[in-house]
Amino acid sequence: MIGRSTLLSIVLALAAGVALFVVKYQVQALEDELASARLHLDESREAVHVLHAEWHYLTDPQRLADLAGRHLDLRPVTAENLVVIADVPMREPELPRERGGQIAEGPSRDSGLGMPAAGPQR
């Protein structure tokens, strides 16, 4: 005749044992995952390191200058291309008669930053 408390103890012990195994395998799986993640991280860090070096190798100024000269219609910036912000003229207010009397209309979207009015499109 088994007492109630004994039965309870046996059930609890079994439950604890099962829980222990479940947790243990879970931890093992997580540890495997961590190890492979670390390995992957190391590989990625190495790849990033190599790619970083490659990026700076490929953007070496001499190479960029050669490529720009071959493929782009750009030239080095000179002093003539630079203007101090204070020297940029304010946009002239639009005259009423040019807008056909529609003074109330807000600034048109195409007139840009103080640029001269666009000529006929070529």
Partner 1 sequence: MNTVPKTLRIDGAAKQSVETGRTRLLVAGAVFALGFATIAARLVLITLGADPEAPRLAVAVAHTPPVVSRADVVDRNGVLLATSLPTVGLFADTRKIADPKRAARRLTAVLPGLDPIEVSVKLSSGLSFVWLSRTLTPHQQAEVNRLGIPGLEFQPSERRVYPQGRLAVHVLGATDVDNRGLTGIERSFDERLSQGRLPLPLSLDVRVQHVLAAELRRAMHEFDAIGAGGAVLDVRTGEVLAMVSYPDFEPNDIGSADADVRFNRMTLGVYELGSTFKLFNTALALDSGKVGIGSRFDATHPLRVARFAIRDYKPEARWLSVAEILLHSSNIGSAQMAMEVGGERQRGFLEKLGLLQPLAIELPETGEPLYPSVWRDINTMTIAFGHGIAVSPMHLINGVAAVINGGILHSPTLLRRDPADAPAGRRVVSPGTSETMRRLMRMVVTDGTGGNAKAKGYLVGGKTGTAEKQVAGRYVRKALVSSFVGAFPMTDPRYVVLALLDEPKGNKKTFGYATGGWVAAPVVGRTIERIGPMLGVTPQAEDDPRVIEALHIDIPEGRGPDLRREVHRGTPAPRGAEPQLASF
Provide the binding-site residues for partner 1, judged by CB under 8 A. 38, 41-42, 45-46, 49-50, 52-54, 56-57, 59-62, 65, 76-82, 84
What Å distances lie between residue 30 and 16, 24, 38, 40, 69, CA to CA?
Answer: 21, 10, 12, 15, 54
Q: Both tokens of residue 108? A: 């048109």
Minimum CB distance to partner 1 smaller for 54 or for 92 = 54
**What's the min distance (Å) between Cβ of 94 and partner 1?**
30
**What's the min distance (Å) between Cβ of 65 and partner 1?**
8
Q: What angle is formed at CA 16 by the lines to CA 11 and CA 20, rounded to 5 degrees?
A: 150
Which residue carries 């079994």 as its tokens? Answer: 14
Minimum CB distance to partner 1 smaller for 33 or for 105 = 33
**What's the min distance (Å) between Cβ of 77 and partner 1?**
4
Report the alpha-carbon distance of residue 106 to residue 61 in Å, rounded.
46
Minimum CB distance to partner 1 smaller for 77 or for 115 = 77
> CB atoms < 10 A from the CB of 43, how many?
10
Minimum CB distance to partner 1 smaller for 76 or for 116 = 76
**What's the min distance (Å) between Cβ of 1 and partner 1?**
24
